[in-house]
Amino acid sequence: MSPAVCLLAFLVAVGQDERPAETPEKWTDLGRRHLSEGRLDSALEAYEKAAALNPLSSWPHYELAKVHWKSGKARKALDEMAVAIDLTRFDGSGLLTFRLYRAEILVWLGRLDEAESEIKFVLDRDGTNVKAHYEMARLYLKQGRDDEAMDEALAVIKSGTRMDDGSYLVGKILLNKEMYPEASSALRRTLSMNPAHAEARYALAQALKRMGKTEEAAKEMETHQSFQRKRDEVDKLQRSNHEPLCLHCSGILSRLYMELGQFKNARLHAERVLKEKPDDSKSLCRLGYILSEMGDHEGAIRRYRRAMEVQADYAVAYNNLAWLLATVKEFQDPDEAIRLAEKAKDLGSDRPGTLAEARFCNGEVEEACRTLETAIRKGHPEAARYREQLKRFREKRPSGEVPESVTRSTSAPVGEKGESR
């Protein structure tokens, strides 16, 4: 063989080695990414390829079931779950996850006895499975078995995880029992932990209405409907923009997911926008808020500062960073927080709570109180929350020290974050 032919054969071999392998894992990861972006057709195609490449694996069929259910095809989802469960005899993994997911689909289809059998199967083998206790409580609620539902709800609460869901279940059961004040208290606890908990918000409106508090009930129902409109908008965007999802839609989705408290999805879409438009100040600021809510305060500070660099008159960025520097102990800088809050005010931000918090952090308690008193006296839209903030200042409690029944975000609250709804 001539040297030239040998060289050509070598180059062809190297090129073949460097081509990416068609692996089930690759297609599964791609499918998950498409599903998180709402690209259901692409996710379906990716999972089908993963299943074809590894016909004895149960997991691609589980993923296919999730796509079908999200597409509103519950019976197709159930068919895929039957395949996934059958294949666990070959790969030996995921059986309890699959049986529990099948139970959720059966509940949705109204086949409650079958669903109960599936959940009992899981709990017989893993009595500490919090999701199984949660799903069993929901099933018992549908069947009117309130006492049994309460046992399952308390198991969720005792686990120390999904506390908001456990508290919601207790509230719902008490509502069924016509114990309206007790139901209201439990549901308010849920919403203090998760303000976007749609079911709890709706149940609270019902409890308040039956207590004769019609104005409060109407307000809670209005908030519930506002969250529902956001969810509907998310679904509409995802269903109508599969291939590919445009940047404008990703920007809208990042905001909607943020407002719904779904920060992982919100981050994904914000980062997608910033990959193409790295100097988009609104997306930088939004990502800063999302990261702070996820506990990455250092990452949030970087995004806020970058947003200020690319748009020096963006009041939202100054306000959000001021709040963070006033409330997060690890990064507290009272002087800079005051400077930033005053700058935000000069730029047109109407968020006196941030400036008050910065002054309180700096030991200027009386000045902080006066700032809030002025806003309350002028009828600021956030007056009710400022009264709570003022009460805390007078008790000389920092932002992190809140009453036991309250969960407070370290990021700027709804009225202060500026990015706002």
Compute the average pLDDT of residues 192-212: 91
Our CA dihedral for 343, 347, 353, 357, rounded to 10 degrees, sits at: -10
pLDDT given for residue 227 in this prediction: 84
- 25 or 240: which leads in pLDDT: 25
Q: By C-alpha distance, which of 110, 90, 86 is closest to 98? A: 86
Please list, residue by residue across 210-223, b when 16 or more beta carbons sit within 10 angstroms of its beta carbon and e when fewer do.
eeebeebbeebbeb
Q: How far is CA 246 from CA 242, 273, 356, in A?
A: 9, 9, 40
- Distance in angstroms (rounded) separating the CA atoms of residues 10 and 173: 72
pLDDT digits (tens, 9 = 90+) for 26-42: 999 899 888 877 788 88
- The interaxial angle of helices 198-210 and 180-193, nearest 10 deg, is 150
> What percent of the chain is modeled with pLDDT above 90?
64
> Would you say 374 and 352 are in contact if contact means Cβ atoms under 8 Å apart?
yes
pLDDT > 80? residue 14: no
When the pLDDT of each residue in the chain is averaged and rounded to a whole number, the result is: 86
Structure tokens at 127: 């009595």
Domain covering 232-394 in this structure, CATH number: 1.25.40.10
Convert the pLDDT of each residue in 378-405 to its tens digit.
999 888 889 999 999 998 766 644 332 3
Count Cβ atoms below 10 Å from residue 11 Cβ, excluding itself. Answer: 10
* Two structure tokens written together for 111: 């086949």
Identify the band that residue 413 occupies on the pLDDT scale cut at 50, 70 and 90: very low
For the ranges 96-110, 252-266, 331-345, the lowest mean pLDDT is seen at: 252-266
pLDDT (0 to 100) of residue 75: 93
pLDDT range class, residue 92, cuts 50, 70, 90: confident
**Spatial contact of 319 and 411, defined as CB atoms under 8 Å apart:** no
Mean pLDDT computed over 41-58: 92
Question: According to the model, what pLDDT value does residue 414 have?
Answer: 38
Residue 15 pLDDT level (bands cut at 50, 70, 90): very low
Read off the pLDDT of residues 149-162 as tens digits, 9 standing for 90 and up.
999 999 999 998 88
Q: What confidence score (pLDDT) does residue 181 get?
A: 95
Q: What angle in degrees, to the nearest 10, is found between the helix axes of 59-70 and 40-53?
A: 160
Domain positions in the chain: 232-394
What pLDDT score does 410 carry?
41
* pLDDT value at residue 76: 95
pLDDT 10s digits, 155-187:
999 998 888 999 999 999 999 999 999 999 999
For residue 160, give Cα distances in angstroms to 125, 154, 167, 198, 295. 20, 10, 11, 21, 19
- Check residues 120 and 21 and name the one with the higher pLDDT: 120
Q: Is the pLDDT of residue 84 over 80?
A: yes
Left, alpha or beta for 246 (phi > 0: left; psi -120 to 50: alpha)? beta
CA distances from 395 to 62, 351, 388, 403, 414 (A): 53, 22, 11, 12, 23
User: Who contacts 142 (Cβ-Cβ below 8 Å, separation ≥6)?
Assistant: 107, 112
Looking at 121-130, 172-181, 249-258, 297-306, which range is the least confident one?
249-258
Is the pLDDT score of 321 beyond 90?
yes
Looking at residues 228-257, what average pLDDT do you find? Answer: 76
Residue 22: per-residue pLDDT: 80
Q: What is the mean pLDDT of residues 64-92?
A: 91
Model confidence at 16: pLDDT above 60? no
pLDDT for 262? 86
Residue range 198-211: mean pLDDT, rounded? 93
The residue ranking higher by pLDDT, 99 or 161, is: 99
With a CB cutoff of 8 Å and minimum separation 6, the contacts of 288 are 299, 300, 301, 302, 303, 304, 307, 317, 320, 321
pLDDT at 85: 95
Give pTM, 2 decimals: 0.65
